[in-house]
């Protein structure tokens, strides 16, 4: 009788442990499925970059791993069919993204405009380069159309020394004789010209980037191995993508056509 009871106890214990193990397995299985779950998006959830330039006017060229200390390398401002690019900013004058957070778009433009030594302005297009099969977009280039305004600032003394002329007065006289459009401002000289050839400002060929820095969300696309083009967006914004060849945006061409 004692043996039977002991056997029953042992059998009951084994059964209970098996049930507990089964429950544990089901619970662990549920946790794995929950952890592996992800939210899927359809292509319509992403904003094409051509539409992005029309909806978000100010774009920042910066690191493709943006942080609070990442600096602005260039600024691009879109207004209807026109684009103004501000570039060639001295390192000591570059704003960080943390500083950008504290500025409105207008304040940011004014700050960058003061320190940019190359400014270009004109109508723009986006030109798609197809992949090797001619089916999908390999990359898309941001192009200033012909007859755009180009403003470039130099140190006057440096140009005078490079000219080989005897004085700054003689150098300025030589510019006037050639008919160059320029303005002297203290130690700087600024040239203004109208360029009759299109200019490729940058090429977008990378993946989507999104980063929240303090309370500001930046989103955009890679434009090189170390750089990205980003704009400030609302929290929860999904992301930008490059246009496909079937885009309907009239500012987009395909391999120049």
212-254 pLDDT, tens digit each: 999 999 999 999 889 999 999 999 999 999 999 999 999 999 9
The predicted structure's pLDDT at residue 32:
31
What element of type H or E holds 176? helix 168-178
**Mean residue pLDDT across the chain:** 87
102-117 pLDDT, tens digit each: 999 999 999 999 999 9
Tokens matching residue 48: 């094409």
Length of the chain, in residues: 257
The predicted structure's pLDDT at residue 6:
40
Tokens matching residue 131: 């992949």
CB 143 within 8 A of CB 129: no
Q: pTM for the full model? A: 0.82
For the chain, give the percent of residues with pLDDT over 70: 85
pLDDT at residue 205 tops 60:
yes
Q: Hey, where are the domains in the chain?
A: 1-38, 46-147+196-254
Nearest 5°: the CA angle 232, 202, 53 is 40
The predicted structure's pLDDT at residue 26:
38
The predicted structure's pLDDT at residue 45:
85
69-126 pLDDT, tens digit each: 999 999 999 999 999 999 999 999 999 999 999 999 999 999 999 999 999 999 999 9
Reduced to 3 states (helix: H, G, I; strand: E, B; else coil), residue 63 is: strand
Instruction: Point out the least confidently predicted range of 4-18, 96-110, 134-148, 169-183.
Output: 4-18
Q: What is the DSSP letter of 71?
A: B
CB 150 within 8 A of CB 156: no
Tokens 């302005």 identify what position?
121
**Residue 43 pLDDT class (50, 70, 90 cuts):** confident
The predicted structure's pLDDT at residue 39:
62
């Amino acid at each position: 009788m004692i043996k039977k009871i002991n056997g029953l106890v042992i059998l009951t214990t084994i059964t209970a442990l098996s049930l507990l193990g089964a429950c544990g397995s089901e619970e662990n299985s549920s946790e794995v499925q929950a952890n592996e779950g992800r939210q899927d998006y359809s292509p319509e959830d992403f904003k094409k970059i051509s539409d992005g330039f029309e909806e978000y006017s100010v774009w920042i060229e910066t690191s493709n791993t943006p942080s609070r200390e990442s600096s602005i390398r260039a600024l691009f401002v879109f207004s209807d069919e026109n684009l103004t690019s501000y570039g060639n900013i001295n390192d000591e004058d570059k704003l960080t993204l943390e500083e950008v957070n504290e500025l409105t778009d207008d304040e940011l433009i004014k700050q960058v405009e003061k320190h940019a030594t190359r400014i270009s302005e004109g109508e723009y297009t986006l030109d798609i380069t197809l992949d090797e099969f001619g089916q999908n977009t390999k990359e898309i280039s941001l192009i200033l159309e012909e007859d755009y305004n180009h403003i470039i600032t130099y140190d006057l003394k440096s140009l005078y020394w490079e000219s080989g002329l005897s004085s700054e007065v003689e150098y300025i006289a030589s510019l006037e004789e050639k008919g160059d459009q320029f303005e002297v401002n203290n130690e700087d000289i600024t040239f203004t010209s109208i360029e009759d050839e299109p200019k490729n400002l940058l090429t977008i060929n990378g993946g989507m980037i999104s980063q929240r820095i303090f309370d500001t969300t930046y989103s955009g696309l890679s434009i090189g191995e170390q750089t990205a083009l980003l704009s400030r967006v609302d929290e929860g914004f999904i992301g930008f993508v490059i246009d496909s060849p079937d885009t309907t945006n009239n500012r987009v061409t395909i391999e120049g056509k």
